[in-house]
Amino acid sequence: MESMNLNKHISGQFNEELENLRNHVMKMGGMVEQQLTNALNAVENTDEELAQEVLTSDFKINLLEVSIDEECTKIIAKRQPAASDLRLILAIAKAISDLERIGDEAGRIAKVALKSFSGAQQEFLLSLDNMGRQVLKMLHDTLDAFARMDVDAAFEIHKDDQKVDREYEALTRQLMTYMMEDPRSIPKIMDVLWSARSLERIGDRCQNICEYVIYFVKGKDVRHITREQIEKDILGNR
């Protein structure tokens, strides 16, 4: 990935601190992306060993979040950054929180691989995998946009969350219909339903991170406003 657009400072040490911070965020992002990849592969191949690996390695992501958060606090206390430097550190602090939660959702998805499904129910695992690959690409593109602080890419990904929402709604309707037709399947289908919900939440987390990119580049908080408003009022002068 290309480096995000960092300001250069008179203090070479400050530059180094910001670059280290960036590298640690990208490392965490790579770990989270791998967790989601492993979780989806575990479900697709009913790989219990890989699923357990996802569940047991989550602590590494948690520890990295704490470490990066401490780095952000130290830089703010020591350097008292202003303007874009402060926005960058705040964007990173918020992004790592969302990344940690994506890791948690990957763990919930991995648990499905520990369940046994009948032949007919396997179809829903396939639907879950299709949605999962779409969300995985969204996560990859989000991390790339964050690495480069690419506001145009971030906005396009932000819009893509609508596709994930539609996929989730369609899969939910299918699962609800199946459960009504075969009540005995409810416990297993609920596992798939909760995993689909986890994927939908990952899409939301990616959307959040894209909003932090826009905040850093444009200096505007775009949470809780419509995409139309973002495009017209915030990005209109791209």
- 3-class SS of residue 207: helix
Count of C-beta atoms within a 10 Å radius of residue 179: 17
Q: Are 193 and 175 in contact (CB under 8 A)?
A: yes
pLDDT for residue 2: 43
Which amino acid belongs to residue 36? Answer: L
C-alpha to C-alpha distance for 189 and 234, rounded to whole angstroms:
42
The reply to whether 2 falls in a domain is no
The reply to whether 1 falls in a domain is no
The reply to whether 183 falls in a domain is yes
The reply to whether 5 falls in a domain is no
The CA-based dihedral angle spanning residues 61, 146, 21, 101, taken in that order and rounded to the nearest 10 degrees: -20
pLDDT for residue 9: 56
Q: Are 216 and 84 in contact (CB under 8 A)?
A: yes
The count of domains in the chain is: 1
In the predicted structure, residue 79 carries a pLDDT above the cut 80: yes
Q: Which residue has the tokens 């946009």?
A: 145
Instruction: Give the whole-number percent of the chain exceeding pLDDT 70.
Output: 93
pLDDT band for 1, please (50, 70, 90 cuts): very low
The reply to whether 4 falls in a domain is no
For position 75, which CATH number holds?
A: 1.20.58.220
Instruction: Please name which of 82, 90, 84, 99 lies closest in space to residue 21, comparing C-alpha atoms.
Output: 90
The reply to whether 6 falls in a domain is no
The reply to whether 156 falls in a domain is yes
Show the domain range for 119.
Answer: 12-234
188-206 confidence digits (pLDDT tens):
889 899 999 999 999 999 9
The reply to whether 102 falls in a domain is yes
C-alpha to C-alpha distance for 93 and 114, rounded to whole angstroms:
33
122-141 confidence digits (pLDDT tens):
777 888 888 999 999 999 99
Instruction: Please name which of 202, 201, 231, 189 lies closest in space to residue 214, comparing C-alpha atoms.
Output: 231
Q: What is the mean pLDDT of residues 220-238?
A: 81
